[in-house]
């Protein structure tokens, strides 16, 4: 450690703990001095500091030492008293306030970087007024009675030569009652060293009179103690001193006055001599003498073992009597005071050893006496003495700590002492580079007085900064604490200063509450100082405070808006945090050759569209030159990167705004920031192109910067959106920019106005890099990329399309008539319209004349003849629909075209429609455009229709059809209107009259229905022309009135039916399958059963197979009842079996008959199982003919039926004739086999005990089918009954 005297504390002590000289003067002396603008003390003080003296000193020890520096402190007698605390406080406050004013300019600058602050030296960091403040603070406790170093050592009596009877005046001065209380109340020895000084003002005449008085004085007061001082030697008072010694005393009232202007160099030298003599010849020797005397006295009474014992005993005895907190009163004559004086004098003469030993001696005494204040004072001095001795730092600190805590213990009266002690302690620690500890001491110093503690905390914070390594967190925290206290004392500038430093610490912190606190308060304070710009900058930081409570958020926002209002101007803030812009939600929708009818269409993936448009566009590009090539010729290479948009058509930008707060905020005037520079071509053509260019630049810049919507002159128009965001709400805002001229459009960012006062800007640029990458990835498919550069081309016609009335929700099977409306707002006409629909099962194009027809009435057949359905049918395969050549759209008249919607299957159905059109004006870059429409329909299930077909056992080529209909809706009722079978060869008819099977006219919600039909294969159709053949159908009305049948062969129904057929796959065997179309109409909801004529439902069932598992069908033709006289002979009945081969292959058939019913039954079971397994859906079907046959034979009693199996022993009948007949059947041919059965008794017989074995001959042409289907099998006989009656 360096020499303690050179440290700050050392210097401070050498400065502060020095002998005090009390100055007594007459009024005339003061008057003479005032001519120079200074008081007497002020005039003399600069010369009391002796830096270059050499005075030998000998204190208690015999070894003399030399003092090279010395100082005297001069005070008027009136100032030697304890300062008034209130006045002192006021004074301190002024010191601080003044300091605050000084660095006002600094407050406006940016806060310093924390990295710059760290590592600076102490003197650079600490504001200079701290030391001054600390000194002033220490002075508030000077002249205390418990310390001797502030007690005057000497008394300087000053009388002017103008005074009358100067000698008497000297005596009067000392005897007056104005002497300080310290002398009067016995706290110190009134016998002081007296020094007499006669002041002569040279302006008042020659010094002869003064010399005379001096001799008188010398004779009266002693020759050594009297001196003459002549001042004001300068006549004109124009002397200017270089490095004026009185500069610190310059008052603010008259700054122009030169201090000491009447004092010439002779005067100065004289003053110097006088003071030097006072110190070295009088004060120091006096003190030496006193020390020696006191030391002797102390040694006599207190040193040595005996004295100590005595002292202890004496104090013990005293203990009981006085127990006050202040301890006993010590007069100057008491031994304790004497020791203290001895210590202090020794300290002042820098004999620290002596001082320390005496302090030690006295401290125990005071402790025993419980004179805590004196004890603390002594401890304090011990600490300082230890420090100056540079011996034990630990001891020094211990003493200081002890003193400090003792002072604090005493209570508020000693708070100031504690502060001074603490400040010394801090300096001591600082001298030892223990900044961290110093900081804690500073922290302990700060008491209730907020202003002092503010300064102390600030000093503490600097200590943390200076400690190694710097403790920045603590630094920031203490700065904030200090700033809060400054604010409490209305020292806003100081508060800002501390917070500014704190901001640099907390810059970029994620400790949200800290950040908010610091920025909000500093912002508030700046606003208080009317420095609104900086205030706003800080307030902006706290706006997005989602973590704060609602009230705090309100407070922040309110204050912010108030500050903004005060500024009286609209702020533009880049990246305003309120509301939050969700940049990832940014989506740009623009239309080049692809146009969209609705936003929903724009959001559909591009790949979907391009696959849909695949064969629309290439046909064009093949026909003529590729439009891309044309474009690349026209557009310079740099433009090919950017997107194309059309003048007059808006570019839409979707972006999300999120309110992070819990309180609602209003955001208005949300617009895009765009730049549009007119295209170079235009400028070339223009004569004064350069000016246009510049103007356009200025224009765009103006728009970009100020955002004014000067739509009259601007090259583009912007849309404005106002939204109100509730707490935590996120709103998607669609903004548009509509360029008006050709050129390059760039979307720069978005701007908005928060609460009508702050304008927030957000530039999209930072994300541009990211987008570029993304764009590279999806190169090839030209998705509306987010690239924000657009090439604006000349305006083009644009079709707008609507479909109405498109329902959002329909029931399955619903057939509706829709109208597509296309409009072209521009003057140019378009041509070559083509349309493609993604889902032709749901949506088909109608004929133009459908528009005028009345749906669904026109579908109803008026006469039985088939009306021209052929044209439609042939049109169907092509998926692309070309509008007629003459259909051009221009201006107001829209193009209407009918569409048919049929909700084929339940579910959520997306329909994509794309319309291609060419622009007649070919000079443009874009030759054609596409209109994309996307519609979404929800289809609910309505009727579930299923058909099951089985061959009719009683007739060849006849089939029984069961139709199961179930109403799956919740509320709708349906009326089944008509069932049609499609196909030339099929004819359908009701099995029963319709009113027998339909008890109610409508099918209610949830109801199911089964009914039976007879299907007859009447015609022959060759498989070659089945597709192109017109749709021929046979209808059966389920409502009784045949004239109201709908013609399913006409346009929409037939078209949809074709689609359904395609959907279910084309059957290879057209002759054996049948399609059904069920037409129904919803009933009116009131349940009256009257169908709603506006709606038509069609349900299609395609490719219902009529085939059972075997290729053959047969029929046994027999008389139903035979009368025979069994008395004569047994009965012989001839039967005839007709076998039909319905397959395309030749079949070998063998008919086997069995005589035993049991064996036939078994084999029948076995074979039926065998035959039933492959065709699962036929399982239940064998029961049905039985049922129908039972109906037919219902005249027989049931018990007879049951009896039949019991006839076991003798078969009641036997097959006669050949037991097995084999034959070969050609495809699609039939053959007849005669059969005969012999019956022995009357009765009803089940003649089912026969079987047909069949085997397919493999056919070359149908090899594939032969592999998949069964090639052979056995069919059991049908149960058919023969009744033989006894004839009479």
Partner 1 sequence: MATTACFIIVSRNEIPIYEAEVGSAAKREDAAQLHQFILHAALDIVQDLAWTTSAMFLKAIDRFNDLVVSVYVTAGHTRFMLLHDSRNDDGIKSFFQEVHELYIKILLNPLYLPGSRITSSHFDTKVRALARKYL
Residues forming contacts to partner 1 in the complex (CB under 8 A) are 464, 471-474, 476-478, 480, 509-514, 516-517, 549, 551-552
Minimum distance of partner 1 from residue 418's CB (angstroms)? 18
Q: At closest approach, how far in Å is the CB of 487 from partner 1?
A: 13
Closest distance between partner 1 and the C-beta of residue 560, in Å?
Answer: 18
Q: What six digits make up the tokens of 802?
A: 């609507």
CB of 513 to partner 1, least distance (A): 4
From 386, 335, 342, 395, select the one nearest 365 (Cα to Cα). Answer: 335
- CB-CB contact of 351 with 321 (8 Å): no
CB of 557 to partner 1, least distance (A): 16
d(CA 322, CA 971): 106
Cβ distance to partner 1 smaller for residue 457 or 578: 457
Nearer to partner 1, 483 or 650 (CB): 483
Q: How many CA atoms lie within 13 A of 533 on its CB side?
A: 5
DSSP annotation of 876 reads: T
CB nearer partner 1, residue 118 or residue 1062: 118
| CA–CA gap between residue 732 and residue 722 (Å, rounded) | 12
Nearer to partner 1, 545 or 750 (CB): 545
Q: How far apart are CA 476 and CA 1038, in angstroms?
A: 92
Using DSSP's 3-state secondary structure scheme, residue 782 falls into coil
Asked if residue 382 lies in contact with residue 356, where contact means CB atoms within 8 angstroms, the answer is: yes
Distance CA 12, CA 425 (A): 12
Q: Minimum distance between the CB of residue 463 and partner 1, rounded to whole angstroms?
A: 12
Kind of pairing between the strands at 743-754 and 665-678: antiparallel
Rounded Cα gap, residues 896 and 943, in angstroms: 32
Tokens of 549: 């409570």
Which residue's CB is nearer to partner 1, number 430 or number 474?
Answer: 474
- As beta bridge partners, residue 194 has 155
Determine the Cα–Cα distance for residues 5 and 431; give it in Å rounded to an integer: 11
Measured from the CB atom, the residue of 155 and 429 that comes closer to partner 1 is: 429
In this structure, what token pair is assigned to residue 579? Answer: 């509301």
Question: Which CB sits closer to partner 1, 549 or 938?
Answer: 549
Q: What is the nearest approach in angstroms of partner 1 to the Cβ of residue 375?
A: 28
Nearer to partner 1, 469 or 780 (CB): 469
Q: Give min distance, CB of 478 to partner 1, in A.
A: 8
| Residue with Cβ nearer partner 1 (211 or 472) | 472
Q: Strand 1243-1246 and strand 1147-1153: pairing? A: unpaired
Q: Which is nearer to partner 1, 521 or 861 (CB)?
A: 521
Got the DSSP string for 573-639? Answer: EET--SSEEEEEEEEEE--SSEEESSHHHHTS-HHHHHHHSTTTHHHHHHHS--HHHHHHHHS-HHH
What are the residues whose beta carbons fall under 8 Å from the beta carbon of 852, sequence distance 6 or more?
A: none
Q: Which is nearer to partner 1, 8 or 472 (CB)?
A: 472
Min dist CB 467 to partner 1, Å, is: 9
Element (H, E) at 521: helix 512-528
Shortest CA distance to 982 belongs to which of 1037, 1058, 1044, 1038? 1058
Taking alpha carbons only, the member of 1139, 1131, 1140, 1133 closest to residue 1118 is 1133
Contact 1097, 815 (CB under 8 A): yes
Query: Which is nearer to partner 1, 549 or 1022 (by Cβ)?
Result: 549
Token pair for residue 1138?
Answer: 């007709």
Q: Which two tokens stand for residue 475?
A: 């630094």
Q: Toward partner 1, which CB reaches closer, 437 or 987?
A: 437
Least spacing, CB of residue 523 vs partner 1, in Å = 15
> C-beta of 699: minimal distance to partner 1 in Å?
46
User: Toward partner 1, which CB reaches closer, 82 or 662?
Assistant: 662
Least distance between partner 1 and beta carbon 728 (Å): 16
What is the smallest separation between the CB atom of 466 and partner 1, expressed in angstroms?
13
3-state secondary structure of 1268: helix
Give the distance, in angstroms, between the CA of residue 908 and the centroid of all CA atoms in the same chain: 33
Write the DSSP symbol of residue 860.
B
Instruction: Dig out the tokens for 279 from the structure.
Output: 């110190």
> CB-wise, 194 or 474, nearer to partner 1?
474
Nearest approach, Cβ of 471 to partner 1 (angstroms)? 4
Q: Which is nearer to partner 1, 461 or 984 (by Cβ)?
A: 461
Please report how close the Cβ of residue 405 comes to partner 1 at its closest, in angstroms. 17
**Six-digit token string for 1216:** 């006669």
In three-state secondary structure terms, 929 is: strand
Q: What is the DSSP string of 448-502?
A: S-HHHHHHHHHHHHHHHHHSSS--HHHHHHHHHHHHHHHHHTT-HHHHHHHHHHH
CB 33 within 8 A of CB 43: yes
Question: In angstroms, what is the minimal distance from the CB of 377 to partner 1?
Answer: 29
What is d(CA 857, CA 1075) in angstroms, rounded to the nearest whole number?
A: 23
Contacts of 15 (CB under 8 A, 6+ apart): 71
Q: Which residues pair with 1035 in a beta bridge?
A: 980
3-state secondary structure (DSSP) of residue 966: strand
Beta bridge partners of 967: 943
Closest-CA residue to 944 (of 822, 817, 812): 812
Nearer to partner 1, 473 or 775 (CB): 473
CB of 548 to partner 1, least distance (A): 8
Instruction: Compute the least distance from the CB of residue 480 to partner 1, in Å.
Output: 6
Return the sign of the alpha-carbon dihedral for residues 34, 40, 44, 45.
negative
Residue number with CB closer to partner 1 (519 or 977): 519
Say how many C-beta atoms besides its own lie within 10 A of residue 275's C-beta.
24
């Amino acid at each position: 450690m360096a020499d303690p005297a050179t440290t700050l504390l050392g210097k401070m002590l050498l400065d502060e703990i020095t002998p005090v000289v009390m100055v007594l003067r007459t009024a005339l002396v003061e008057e003479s001095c005032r001519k120079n603008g200074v008081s007497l003390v002020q005039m003399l003080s600069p010369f009391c500091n002796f830096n270059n003296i050499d005075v030998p000193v000998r204190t208690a020890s015999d070894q003399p030492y030399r003092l090279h520096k010395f100082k005297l402190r001069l005070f008027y007698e009136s100032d030697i008293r304890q300062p008034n605390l209130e006045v002192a406080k006021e004074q301190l406050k002024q010191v601080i306030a003044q300091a605050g004013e000084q660095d006002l300019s600094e407050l406006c600058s940016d806060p310093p970087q924390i990295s710059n602050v760290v590592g600076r030296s102490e003197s650079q960091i600490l504001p200079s007024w701290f030391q001054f403040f600390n000194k002033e603070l220490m002075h508030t406790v000077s002249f205390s009675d418990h310390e001797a170093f502030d007690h005057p050592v000497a008394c300087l009596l000053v009388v002017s030569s103008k005074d009358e009877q100067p000698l008497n005046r000297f005596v009067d001065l000392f005897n007056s009652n104005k002497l300080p209380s310290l002398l009067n109340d016995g706290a110190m020895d009134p016998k002081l060293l007296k020094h007499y000084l006669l002041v002569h003002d040279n302006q008042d005449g020659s010094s002869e009179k003064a010399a005379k008085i001096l001799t008188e004085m010398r004779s009266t007061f002693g020759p050594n103690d009297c001196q003459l001082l002549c001042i004001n030697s300068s006549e004109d008072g124009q002397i200017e001193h270089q490095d004026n010694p009185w500069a610190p005393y310059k008052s603010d009232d008259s700054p122009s006055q030169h201090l000491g202007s009447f004092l010439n160099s002779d005067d100065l030298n004289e003053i110097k001599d006088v003071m030097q003599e006072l110190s070295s010849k009088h004060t120091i020797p006096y003190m030496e003498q006193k020390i020696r005397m006191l030391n002797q006295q102390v040694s006599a009474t207190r040193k040595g073992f005996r004295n100590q014992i005595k002292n202890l005993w004496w104090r013990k005895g005293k203990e009981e009597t006085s127990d006050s907190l202040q301890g006993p009163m010590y007069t100057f004559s008491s031994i304790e005071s004497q020791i203290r004086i001895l210590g202090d004098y020794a300290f002042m003469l820098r004999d620290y050893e002596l001082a320390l030993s005496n302090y030690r001696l006295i401290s125990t005494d005071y402790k025993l006496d419980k004179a805590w204040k004196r004890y603390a004072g002594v401890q304090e001095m011990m600490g300082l003495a230890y420090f100056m001795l540079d011996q034990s730092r630990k001891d020094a600190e211990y003493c200081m700590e002890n003193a400090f805590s003792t002072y604090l213990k005493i209570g508020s009266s000693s708070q100031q002492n504690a502060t001074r002690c603490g400040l010394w302690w801090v300096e001591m620690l600082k001298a030892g580079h223990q900044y961290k500890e110093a900081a804690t001491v500073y922290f302990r110093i700060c008491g209730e007085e907020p202003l002092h503690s503010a300064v102390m905390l600030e000093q503490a914070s600097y200590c943390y900064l200076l400690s190694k390594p710097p403790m920045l967190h603590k630094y920031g925290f203490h700065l904030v604490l200090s700033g809060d206290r400054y604010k409490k004392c209305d020292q806003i500038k100081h508060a800002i200063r501390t917070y500014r430093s704190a901001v640099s610490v907390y810059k970029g912190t994620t400790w949200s509450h800290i950040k908010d606190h610091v920025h909000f308060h500093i912002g508030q304070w700046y606003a208080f100082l009317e420095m609104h710009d900086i205030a706003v900058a800080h307030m902006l930081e706290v706006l997005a405070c989602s973590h704060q409570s609602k009230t705090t958020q309100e407070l922040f926002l309110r204050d912010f808006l108030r500050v903004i209002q005060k500024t009286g101007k609209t702020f533009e803030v880049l990246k305003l945090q309120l509301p939050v812009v969700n940049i990832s939600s940014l989506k740009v929708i623009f239309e080049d050759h692809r146009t969209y009818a609705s936003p929903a269409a724009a959001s559909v993936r591009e790949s979907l569209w391009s696959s849909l448009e695949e064969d629309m566009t290439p046909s064009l590009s093949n026909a003529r030159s590729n439009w891309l090539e044309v474009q690349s010729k026209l557009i310079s290479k740099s433009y090919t990167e950017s997107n194309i948009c059309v003048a007059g058509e808006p570019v839409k930008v979707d972006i999300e705004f999120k309110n992070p707060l819990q309180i609602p905020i209003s955001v208005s005037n949300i617009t895009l920031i765009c730049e549009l520079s007119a295209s170079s071509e235009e400028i070339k053509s223009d004569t004064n192109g350069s000016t246009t260019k510049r103007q356009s630049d200025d224009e765009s810049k103006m728009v970009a910067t100020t955002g004014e919507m000067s739509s009259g002159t601007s090259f583009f128009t912007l849309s404005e959106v106002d939204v109100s965001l509730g707490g935590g709400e996120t709103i998607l805002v669609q903004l548009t920019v509509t360029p008006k001229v050709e050129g390059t459009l760039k979307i720069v960012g978005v701007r908005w106005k928060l609460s009508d006062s702050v304008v927030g800007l957000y530039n999209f640029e930072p994300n541009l890099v990211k987008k570029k990458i993304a764009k590279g990835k999806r190169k090839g498919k030209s998705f509306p990329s987010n690239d924000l550069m657009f090439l604006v081309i000349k305006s083009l016609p644009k079709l707008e399309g609507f479909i109405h009335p498109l329902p959002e929700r329909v029931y399955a099977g619903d057939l509706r008539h829709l109208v597509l409306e296309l409009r072209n707002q521009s003057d140019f006409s378009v041509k070559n319209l083509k349309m493609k629909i993604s889902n032709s099962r749901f949506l088909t194009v109608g004929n133009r004349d459908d528009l005028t027809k009345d749906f669904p009435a026109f579908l109803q057949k008026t006469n039985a003849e088939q009306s021209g359905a052929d044209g439609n049918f042939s049109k169907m395969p092509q998926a692309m629909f070309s509008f007629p050549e003459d259909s051009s759209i221009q201006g107001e008249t829209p193009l209407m075209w009918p569409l048919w919607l049929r909700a084929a299957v339940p579910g959520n159905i997306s329909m994509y429609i794309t319309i291609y059109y060419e622009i007649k004006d070919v000079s443009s870059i874009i030759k054609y455009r596409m209109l994309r429409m996307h519609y979404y329909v929800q289809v609910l299930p309505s009727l579930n229709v299923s058909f099951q077909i089985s061959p009719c056992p009683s007739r060849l080529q006849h089939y029984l059809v069961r139709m199961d209909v179930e109403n799956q809706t919740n509320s709708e009722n349906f009326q089944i209107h008509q069932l049609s079978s499609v196909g030339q060869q099929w004819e359908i008819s009701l099995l029963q009259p319709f009113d027998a099977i339909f008890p109610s006219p409508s099918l209610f919600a949830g109801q199911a229905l089964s009914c039976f039909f007879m299907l007859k294969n009447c015609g022959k159709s060759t498989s070659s022309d089945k597709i192109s053949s017109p749709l021929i159908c046979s209808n059966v009305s389920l409502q009784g009135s045949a004239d109201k049948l709908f013609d399913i062969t006409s346009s929409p129904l037939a078209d949809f039916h074709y689609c359904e057929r395609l959907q279910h796959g084309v059957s290879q065997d057209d002759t054996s399958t049948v399609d059904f179309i069920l037409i129904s109409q919803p009933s009116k909801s009131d349940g009256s059963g009257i169908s709603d004529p506006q709606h038509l439902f069609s349900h299609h069932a395609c490719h219902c197979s009529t085939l059972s598992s075997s290729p053959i069908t047969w029929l046994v033709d027999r008389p139903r009842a035979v009368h025979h006289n069994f008395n004569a002979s047994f009965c012989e009945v001839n039967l005839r079996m007709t076998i039909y081969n319905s397959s395309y292959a030749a079949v070998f058939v063998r008919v086997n008959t069995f005589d035993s019913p049991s064996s036939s039954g078994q084999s029948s079971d076995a074979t039926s199982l065998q035959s039933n397994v492959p065709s699962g859906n036929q399982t239940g079907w064998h029961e049905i003919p039985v049922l129908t046959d039972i109906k037919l034979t219902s005249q027989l009693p049931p018990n007879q039926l049951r009896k039949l199996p019991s006839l076991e022993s003798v078969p009641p009948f036997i097959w006669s004739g050949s037991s097995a007949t084999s034959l070969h059947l050609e495809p699609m041919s039939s053959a007849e086999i005669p059969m005969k059965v012999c019956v022995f008794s009357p009765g009803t017989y089940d003649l089912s005990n026969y079987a047909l074995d069949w085997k397919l001959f493999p056919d070359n042409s149908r090899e594939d089918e032969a592999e998949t289907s069964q090639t052979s099998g056995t069919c059991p006989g049908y149960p058919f009954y023969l009744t033989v009656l006894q004839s009479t």
